[in-house]
Structure 1
Amino acid sequence: MDNSHTQAPAAASLRPNAIGLGGAVIMSAALMGPAVSVYFNPQVSASHAGVATPFVFVAALAVMLIVGSSIMEMARVFPSAGAFYTFVSRGIGPRAGFVTGGLMFLAYALLVPAELALIGVYTHDVLAQHGIQLHWTIISAIFIVLMLVLSLRGITGSLRTALILFTAEVLVIVLLSAIVLIKGGADGLSLAPFNPGESSGGLSGIALGMVFGILSFVGFEAATTLGEEVRDPRRNIPLGMFLSLLFVGAIYLFCTYSEMIGFGTDNVDRLVGDTAPFTTLATMYAPWLKLLVGLAGISSIFAVIMNSNNGIVRIVFAMGREGMLPAALGRVSTTHQTPSTAIWLQGAVAVVFTFGVGLLSGPFNAYVYLGSILTLAIIPVYILTNIACMRHFGDLGRSERSLLRHAVLPVLGIALLAIPIYGQVYPVPDAPVRYFPYLVLLFIVVMSMIAIQIGRVRPEVLLRAGGVLATGEAEALPAGEAESAGR
């Protein structure tokens, strides 16, 4: 096979070397949002897995470490703002890359309004406790404006803000969790929360609970979108993801266990019915922390909003730059070197879904429903990236091939990702959750048809898919890949 590359003209690029390893870690860790995850996800998982909810989070971490291995390998070889879109384009093909980009847009684009609806209702409740009444829509609108301003000004300022918010939230939730455990919780310490046999819904309960366990880790891959702005991206992007997974996973383990012990293993129903369990724990065990718990929740949600927004606009920017989306989306602001058009597009999407779904179903339900859909959208992305990893290192990257990292772990990762999918379809959950897998499947079919049409009408576009790497220079597909792209 001829592995020579044809050179394309220089492409619009983001600001290089803007951040280091710490920025990559914060991008991923803050997007996972430890506080928002332990505030709002365990009670949803507990409605299915009961006392075994902390086990669900341990299992979810194990799954994400295995799945993440392939993502880290592809990020090392193909650093790019396009992230998964680039990985799959290079490992499987441009049509699959286009579908992947669409799924990433669906996942991250829905994560932003899900969190915006949540920050609106949560901040409303925090303010109401202090006698201040402000409708959640006004609060969400304020945070939308703040998100746009920070995004347009550049990644450095956004990550600096995320670091401050992340540090504050972690200190508060870890402190409260430690106090709960030191006081012995409701009924004393127990290992029951780590026993899968304690799942009230059996295996199906664990599988369905893992949807929100995995949702809690969605975002660990966010550093991949900084491939053009991080120093030494081939090292710092994979390392940043790995460190963020371990760090945030440890926080989840500690805090979800504390949460279950704090309510008591005999009071799972009380946890399930509590929309703000950490506020309840603060009231029970450390009333002086109650205000700080509220502020930590707000800061965590906004950190997730900022980093998810930064991630999706870079993927849209990469696809626009390479012609997969309108070229206007590939434009860069001359003032701050930020993907300004993509930022405005994502802002519009956020407004529509935040207020549309939030007003129709209620803001907390908007978080639950959009969270379920985006988790189902991100799972196929992880699966496709694992396949791309196997194909790349079995062909062009075979000189670096490792049986464990490039064959065994990807296959295992794909198999494990079937668990939360299974939980969403059997036994059939209540409406509207039962319809979400089929909505995502329909989206995949539509995106596939569009990709096929692009290949027929504009085959030259497919030759550029995934071609712009960390250098910002456009690199066409290798000759062998180009031949397959044109077919």
Structure 2
Amino acid sequence: MSAAIMGPAVSTFFNPQFATPFSGAATPFVYLICVAVMLLVSSGIVEMAREFPSAGAFYTYVSRGIGPRAGFVTGGLMFVAYALLPPAEIGLIGAYVQSTLQAEFGLNVPWWLIGVVPVSLMVALAYRGIATSLRAALILFGAEVTVIVVLAVIVVGKGGDDGISLHPLSPAASPHGVGGITTGFVFAALSFVGFEAAATLGEEIRAPRRTVPKAIVLSVLAVGLLYVFCIWAEVLGIGEQAANELTGASLPWNDLAQRYATWMKWPVIIAAVSSMFAVMVNSSNGIVRITHAMGRDRLLPAFLAEVNPRFRTPSKAIVAQGVFAAGLAVVVGLLSGPFSDPVAGFNVYGYLGFLLTLAILPVYVLTNLAAVNWFRAKGTFSILRHLVLPLAGACLMIALLYGQIREQTTAPYTWFPWVILGWTAIVVTAAIWIGRAKPEQMERAGQLLAVGDSEDLQQKA
């Protein structure tokens, strides 16, 4: 689950293009640093997962370590991060398929019209039960990893554009210095969003105190190193100068297949689309879980709690999530470029992906600080595991957020940190009000915002 929601193929095929305008040919180095940073960030999460195997995950960790109001804010930020993933993938699927159809067949089908297909499939799979949609996502995950690894090996085996070089794994390859690396890091971090997803299954698996931490660490390490190798192969394959000129609308992996293994062209295209769809399905399942449970507890309209009598799934919550995802993708697309231009679809992914990354980074900070505070109060304190590593992870995330606000100079990206700050202010205000007016609802509301009620939906699935 953790690895699949990270979306190895979609993250390899598309996320680097949003980093390369800043970090250029040094983007493989950025991803290598990101692996190390995410391992540090995961340290506090792993320690709290061992301590509290709970479906509440981050909400539970922060509530226990810092307090229920901080936990509520954590849930609010998690809600934004996961809610923006499906519409972001709609924009990306639509734009990618539109560009591919233009290049291969001379057809120009608007990206938003193409996006209707995956949304409909997502809703149909979820309608039949979460087990069906997760099984489909797992099959797609296995296929996509195979395709990207095979093509990367072929590119490296043929020597790339100008021979094998480790220069892209050096910060010296960045055309914009440290500032470019810092900004590119935010888009690299987007590729790792979801590594923590296994933490939400703490009440549904055997030996969660051992299995969940192992799943989190192995997901970061295995998928992260896959990113580094494949993006390094990409830079070698197209050349460093071409890598410096990539934009969010570029399709370098299509070009690599055409140049190094023509027979891989359509497998690459199919793997890219299937990876985006798998991310949509996994993230949508989480949001449906939240909205259904909140409807049941009257924190959202009651109709969202209704269950289909045949499939025993929260059908209206599923449809509502599909409509929300499609509607947001269309609105953002209208605001970001000509509606028929695939660039608008790519912008939907870039804008929403940037926003959700800025929302999830503070969650990692809060969880690591909660780990320090919890184990200090408990008395079973390890200087390395409960202080040095989690504080290092938290400080790196804070530095990343600060660096992004400082270095980012291009609108609308300059606005997005303020959007997240505004949302955080709203959630903090709500936490204060609920804590005073309805203290008994604070814990329940925060947990629902975090991951929903897994046991209830598991029975319905």
TM-score normalised by the chain length of structure 2 = 0.89
2:142 matched residue in structure 1: 167
| Backbone CA RMSD of aligned residues | 2.5
Structure 1 position 420 matched with structure 2 position 397:
no
1:109 matched residue in structure 2: 83
Whose helix proportion is higher, 1 or 2? 2
Q: Which amino acid aligns with 1:393?
A: F
The answer to whether the Cα contact below 8 Å between 2:248 and 2:346 also exists between their aligned partners in 1 is no
1:409 matched residue in structure 2: 389
1:207-244 deviation line (CA, Å, top 9, x unaligned) = 10000110010111122233343333333222222221
- Compared with structure 1, are the counterparts of its residues 89 and 148 closer, same or farther at alpha carbon in structure 2 (3 Å cutoff)? farther
1:96 matched residue in structure 2: 70
The answer to whether the Cα contact below 8 Å between 1:33 and 1:303 also exists between their aligned partners in 2 is yes
2:370 matched residue in structure 1: 388
Q: Which amino acid aligns with 2:82?
A: Y
> Could you tell me how far apart the structure 1 residues matched to 2:417 and 2:447 are?
32
Deviation at 1:78, TM superposition (A): 2.6
Q: Which amino acid aligns with 2:28?
A: P
The answer to whether the Cα contact below 8 Å between 1:118 and 1:363 also exists between their aligned partners in 2 is yes
Deviation at 1:203, TM superposition (A): 1.4
> Could you tell me how far apart the structure 2 residues matched to 1:471 and 1:275 are?
39
> Could you tell me how far apart the structure 2 residues matched to 1:33 and 1:57 are?
15
Match of 1:297 among 259, 268, 272: 272
Match of 1:453 among 423, 427, 433: 433
Provide the secondary structure at the position in 1 that maps to 2:246: helix
Structure 1 position 250 matched with structure 2 position 225:
yes
Greater Cα offset, 258-267 or 459-468: 459-468
Structure 1 position 360 matched with structure 2 position 335:
yes
1:173-208 deviation line (CA, Å, top 9, x unaligned) = 111111111111111111111111222221111110
Deviation at 1:296, TM superposition (A): 0.7
Q: Which amino acid aligns with 2:416?
A: F
- Compared with structure 1, are the counterparts of its residues 230 and 151 closer, same or farther at alpha carbon in structure 2 (3 Å cutoff)? farther
Deviation at 1:394, TM superposition (A): 2.2
The answer to whether the Cα contact below 8 Å between 1:82 and 1:318 also exists between their aligned partners in 2 is no
1:439 matched residue in structure 2: 419
The answer to whether the Cα contact below 8 Å between 2:58 and 2:363 also exists between their aligned partners in 1 is yes
- Compared with structure 1, are the counterparts of its residues 233 and 345 closer, same or farther at alpha carbon in structure 2 (3 Å cutoff)? farther
> Could you tell me how far apart the structure 2 residues matched to 1:313 and 1:416 are?
32
- 5 Å-filtered alignment, 1:83-482, equals 83-128=57-102, 129-130=104-105, 133-272=108-247, 275-316=250-291, 338=313, 340=315, 342-361=317-336, 362-395=344-377, 397-399=378-380, 401-462=381-442, 464=444
1:8 matched residue in structure 2: none
Match of 2:54 among 80, 85, 108: 80
Greater Cα offset, 270-279 or 349-358: 270-279
Provide the secondary structure at the position in 2 that maps to 1:445: helix
- Compared with structure 1, are the counterparts of its residues 120 and 451 closer, same or farther at alpha carbon in structure 2 (3 Å cutoff)? same
1:139-186 deviation line (CA, Å, top 9, x unaligned) = 211211211222233332222111211111111111111111111111
- Percent identity, aligned pairs only? 53
Match of 2:37 among 53, 57, 63: 63
- Compared with structure 1, are the counterparts of its residues 329 and 161 closer, same or farther at alpha carbon in structure 2 (3 Å cutoff)? same
Provide the secondary structure at the position in 2 that maps to 1:429: coil
Structure 1 position 36 matched with structure 2 position 10:
yes
Q: Which amino acid aligns with 2:432?
A: I
- Compared with structure 1, are the counterparts of its residues 337 and 389 closer, same or farther at alpha carbon in structure 2 (3 Å cutoff)? farther
> Could you tell me how far apart the structure 2 residues matched to 1:471 and 1:147 are?
19
Deviation at 1:308, TM superposition (A): 1.4
> Could you tell me how far apart the structure 1 residues matched to 2:387 and 2:283 are?
30
- Compared with structure 1, are the counterparts of its residues 304 and 273 closer, same or farther at alpha carbon in structure 2 (3 Å cutoff)? closer
- Compared with structure 1, are the counterparts of its residues 471 and 134 closer, same or farther at alpha carbon in structure 2 (3 Å cutoff)? closer
Deviation at 1:339, TM superposition (A): 5.1
- Compared with structure 1, are the counterparts of its residues 273 and 470 closer, same or farther at alpha carbon in structure 2 (3 Å cutoff)? closer
The answer to whether the Cα contact below 8 Å between 2:147 and 2:267 also exists between their aligned partners in 1 is yes
Greater Cα offset, 375-384 or 314-323: 314-323
The answer to whether the Cα contact below 8 Å between 2:85 and 2:353 also exists between their aligned partners in 1 is yes
> Could you tell me how far apart the structure 2 residues matched to 1:253 and 1:328 are?
45
- Compared with structure 1, are the counterparts of its residues 403 and 336 closer, same or farther at alpha carbon in structure 2 (3 Å cutoff)? farther
Q: Which amino acid aligns with 2:161?
A: A
- Compared with structure 1, are the counterparts of its residues 82 and 336 closer, same or farther at alpha carbon in structure 2 (3 Å cutoff)? farther
> Could you tell me how far apart the structure 2 residues matched to 1:467 and 1:122 are?
36
> Could you tell me how far apart the structure 2 residues matched to 1:466 and 1:404 are?
30
2:340 matched residue in structure 1: none
Deviation at 1:357, TM superposition (A): 0.7
The answer to whether the Cα contact below 8 Å between 1:204 and 1:426 also exists between their aligned partners in 2 is no
- Compared with structure 1, are the counterparts of its residues 420 and 336 closer, same or farther at alpha carbon in structure 2 (3 Å cutoff)? farther
1:48-79 deviation line (CA, Å, top 9, x unaligned) = 11221101001111111111121222223333
Q: Which amino acid aligns with 1:343?
A: I
- Compared with structure 1, are the counterparts of its residues 235 and 323 closer, same or farther at alpha carbon in structure 2 (3 Å cutoff)? farther
> Could you tell me how far apart the structure 2 residues matched to 1:329 and 1:51 are?
47
- Compared with structure 1, are the counterparts of its residues 340 and 386 closer, same or farther at alpha carbon in structure 2 (3 Å cutoff)? farther
Deviation at 1:309, TM superposition (A): 1.4
- Compared with structure 1, are the counterparts of its residues 93 and 130 closer, same or farther at alpha carbon in structure 2 (3 Å cutoff)? same
Structure 1 position 49 matched with structure 2 position 19:
no
Greater Cα offset, 253-262 or 93-102: 93-102
Provide the secondary structure at the position in 1 that maps to 2:142: helix
Deviation at 1:369, TM superposition (A): 0.7
**Number of aligned pairs?**
445
Q: Which amino acid aligns with 2:255?
A: T
1:483 matched residue in structure 2: none
